[in-house]
Amino acid sequence: MDSGPGVSPPGRFPVRWGRHMVGGRLVVGELRVQEIVRGDGRVCYTVVDADCSVVAEADGFLRSCRAGTDRTYAYVLVDHLRWLRFAGLDAGSVSLEDLRHYMAALGADYPGPFGLPWREGKRPYGHSALKTAAACLKGFYLHLGIHGVNPSLAEALRVTRLPTRADRRRAMLGHVLHSMPANPLAPAERVRRHPKMLPEGAREVLLGAVSCARDRRVVTWLADGGYRAVHACRRPTVRAAVTVTRSCSGASSGADKAPFQSAWKTTGRTPTGSPSPRTPSISGRER
């Protein structure tokens, strides 16, 4: 039974028929991400088509993801599914080489032509975003392979590599490890300085961004003392300068994010960065 535009049919999640706003842009006649509010308050995400029908392949995969991950993967998948239609492919006929072409269109290094341009007028993905997209695509096509869709591609994605020393240290029985899962779509790892240290050239960028002698003294002191990025981030006078440092490094560690994470509650995501409640100690003082 047709419930009319703007009215949810019985047993379905609320949607706006034929139109949706994504990033301030009106999406008409395209695949899009749809937020679903469950009866118990949980927020999930899926991919719907232009006629508001659920894309079964993407929905089945996103249901297997954890809360928070499904939102990130939903936006990666909707871009990939749009590219499949743009390239005249589908999930059952795409090959590993086609996926490499898609990753190259996002910004990955590829030795050769990779077809028509995609995402024109937008910046290419960074290293971290490319790793997220590669993980999402591998999980999506492995999920389809379990259900008998494109098993050859799923088999091509099941590659392994030799374990490194760090892998053996992290594993419970690392001394008996013989192989580790690998992702043929993921970009090559970058060799950087210690992730908790400021990147090369950060001192000069920070000195150019601060506005008073006190801040310049703090930056010089932190740089000469070899302090970590988290110590600089905890200084409220250099917050704007640290933002410049993040753009200089291209990627930031978890240590320099914590002081700036919002404590506001957001739908579907766990609030982080909120201060821990103070508890009285045995001596009566707060700690």
Q: What is the pLDDT confidence band of residue 11, given thresholds at 50, 70 and 90?
A: very low
Please report, for the chain, the start and end positions of each structural domain, with discontinuous segments joined by +: 67-159, 202-258
Q: Regarding predicted confidence, which is higher, 10 or 61?
A: 61
Distance CA 8, CA 4 (A): 8
Instruction: Pick 229 or 104 by higher pLDDT.
Output: 104
State the virtual CA torsion across 94, 106, 20, 27 in degrees, nearest 10: -90
**pLDDT at residue 149 greater than cutoff 90:** yes
**Which has the minimum average pLDDT: 76-85, 133-142, 214-223?**
214-223
More confident residue, 247 or 75: 75
Per-residue pLDDT tens for 214-244? Answer: 888 888 887 777 666 555 555 544 444 445 4
Checking phi first, is residue 24 left (phi over 0); if not, alpha (psi -120 to 50) or beta? Answer: left
pLDDT for res 225: 75
